[in-house]
Structure 1
Amino acid sequence: MILRHRHLERARYLRREATPAERDLWKRLRFRQVSNAKFRRQRPIGRYIVDFVCLEAKLIVEIDGSQHADRVSYDEERTRFLEAIGFRVMRFWNGELLAQPHHVMEQIFTAVSERLRQQRD
């Protein structure tokens, strides 16, 4: 119970302290703007908190800053765990999102559409 409470508190903190890239992406994902899919932000999944997740498509979108260059093995472990429970994890760099938002959104749109179509078939 204590761990879950800490996760929720940390997720709330991360929502309040979002990076400019995270705020920008959230404006583009919220209100079912991508394939009518509902995204959530800073959502606990297992022992991790993911940046953005569409539960119905089982798709996670991570926006990575420069600190992730030093955490490669941690991110790989995290991705393996999330993929093992059925999620697809997409990672984009902050700069990539800020410089080419339409390119990033196109990739997310394609992934959401494919995942939702696979689940219907």
Structure 2
Amino acid sequence: MEEITPHHPHKVPDDLKQYAREMRKNMPDAEQLLWYLLRNRRLAGAKFRRQHLVGRYILDFYCVEKKLAIELDGGQHSEQQTYDRQRGIYLKQQGIEVLRFWNNQMLSETESVLEVIYSTVTKETSLL
């Protein structure tokens, strides 16, 4: 009988794994709040991961079954638009939809942010 082993097409560089671990330990307030609301399938039964690696990119939150990434951005993102654009192109090529919110939106407009995430998670994908 053939032994089945997990398939790992790309080994994640150790430095990137370590950085993702550090980011999980030092999440900003907005990310802590969203993680509290998403974890344990609290939103529409969707399973989210935090600081999830896709290629050389770390996604704040990622739902594998919906191929949905949620990014919470602070002020530094206004200075790295080129990086964010390249990252967005790569994620789109992987079939990943990205929802982006500012940290202050998450903290002051929590219900509105959750409504957008909920409607995205629960929308039916077309068969076309």
In the superposition, the TM-score normalised over structure 2's length comes to: 0.88
1:7 aligned partner, one-letter code:
L
Percent identical residues? 39
1:118 aligns with 125
Note the C-alpha offset of 1:119.
7.2
Per-residue deviation, residues 80-115 of structure 1 (Å, max 9, x unmatched) = 10011100001000011101000000000001111x
CA distance in 2, matches of 1:88, 1:2: 23
CA distance in 2, matches of 1:66, 1:103: 20
In the superposition, the TM-score normalised over structure 1's length comes to: 0.92
Unpaired runs of 5+ residues, structure 1, are: none
1:84 paired with 2:93, answer yes
1:46 aligns with 55
| Structure showing greater Rg | 2
1:12 aligns with 21
1:73 aligns with 82
In the TM superposition, structure 1's runs of 4+ consecutive aligned residues that sit over 6 Å from their partners are: none
Q: Cα RMSD (Å) of the superposition?
A: 1.8
CA distance in 2, matches of 1:37, 1:81: 23
Cα distance 1:120–1:7, how it changes in 2: closer, same or farther (>3 A)? Answer: farther
Aligned residues: 119
**Larger RCO, structures 1/2 (Cα 8 Å, 6+ apart):** 1
2:7 aligns with none
Question: Greater share of helix residues, 1 or 2?
Answer: 1
